[in-house]
Amino acid sequence: MQYPSLIFQPNSVPTSVSLWDAANIFKYATSWFTAIWLALDKSQVSQTSSFRRTFIRHLVWEAETFVFPYINICATSNTSLALPEYLNGVVTMLTHWQVGIVDDNGLFRLFHTHQFNMAGDLMVCYQIVSNYAYSWWNDQFDVHLFEMPNHVPVEEVIQLYKHHMQQLPAAYLLLPEMHRHDVGPDPLLTNLWVIKDNLGDLGAQLEQCLSSKMQDANVALKAMTTLEGLVDDLHDAIAASQQLLDGTGSMQELGKYQ
């Protein structure tokens, strides 16, 4: 499967971010926003107005540093990339705050009272790990000021999500790294090629799955055929035994009358 690179040249220095990178960054962002929500949900600190205001300032910094730039990268490259469900909800909340639909208290309430529509363990489903960079939510941020950098370079963000993947169980590490190709002059055509690659990969996976199922079915059919022969032999043996018993019974009845 191939994913195009999104090429940028800030200060004439080219920087490449692939769609695969962006998707992983959004997945990583979903994980740490969930970790923030869990920390807030378990926190015993009094949620004063100062606490809520400081929390929102940090939450907005998270989005402006690790989420919005990569949404903008996709948008300015005329590339559409879906956000994970929870991250999409967080971005919606933050957008409402940005345009004045809700204030700090409203944003805090929306984030804090969000209900996850899912089954299973939250930490497993959202791949929560032990260590996050810039994990201000674990350091009494309402008492000790957290130094928030103005920006985090793309290269560092990519390394952060790779470090995040390394902390996950070994099964996640078996996922292959995707091939990449540079974006062409026509973004729409590039996206069509990505869709074609996705469909081709999906078709190959389905073909492999069907082939495996057919092999399993053939094995099961052979086993059933073998069992069918054994069952037929058993029926024949039972029928022969019944005939023998019937013959013996008839002979005994005949002996009574002689």
Q: Where do the structural domains in the chain lie, given as residue ranges?
A: 2-183, 186-258
Residue 46 CB partners (closer than 8 Å, separation 6+): none
User: What pLDDT, on the 0 to 100 scale, is given for residue 64?
Assistant: 93
pLDDT band at 249 (very low <50, low <70, confident <90, very high): low
Is pLDDT of 128 > 70?
yes
Residue with the bigger pLDDT between 153 and 249: it is 153
Q: Is 24 a residue whose pLDDT tops 80? A: yes
The answer, yes or no, to whether residue 119 has pLDDT greater than 80, is no
Under 8 Å between Cβ of 117 and 84? no
d(CA 241, CA 66): 80
Nearest Cα to Cα of residue 109 among 52, 67, 42 = 52
Among the listed residues 80, 65, 73, the one whose alpha carbon sits nearest the alpha carbon of residue 17: 73
Taking the C-alpha atoms of residue 247 and residue 145, their distance in angstroms, rounded to an integer, is 100
User: For all residues of the chain together, what is the average pLDDT?
Assistant: 77
Residue 252: predicted pLDDT: 61
- For residue range 179-225, what is the model confidence (pLDDT) as tens digits? 454 555 555 666 666 666 667 766 777 787 788 788 877 887 777 77
In this prediction, residue 248 has a pLDDT band, given cuts at 50, 70 and 90, of low
Mean pLDDT of 156-175: 72
Question: What gap in Å lies between CA 8 and CA 154, rounded to an integer?
Answer: 11
Give the distance, in angstroms, between the CA of residue 67 and the centroid of all CA atoms in the same chain: 17
Mean pLDDT, rounded, for 156-173: 76
Q: Is the pLDDT of residue 70 over 60?
A: yes
The pLDDT score that the predictor gives to residue 77 is: 75
Question: CA 155 to CA 163: how far, in whole Å?
Answer: 12
CB-count burial class (<10 Å; 0-12, 13-18, 19+) for 66 = buried
> Tens digit of pLDDT for each residue in 92-118?
999 999 999 999 999 999 999 998 876
Percent of the chain with pLDDT strictly greater than 90: 22
> By C-alpha distance, which of 134, 181, 188, 190 is closest to 159?
134
* The pLDDT value given to residue 9: 45
Given a contact cutoff of 8 angstroms between Cβ atoms, the answer to whether 102 and 96 are in contact is yes
* Distance, C-alpha 69 to centroid of its chain: 22
Residue with token string 């054994």: 230
What's the pTM? 0.60
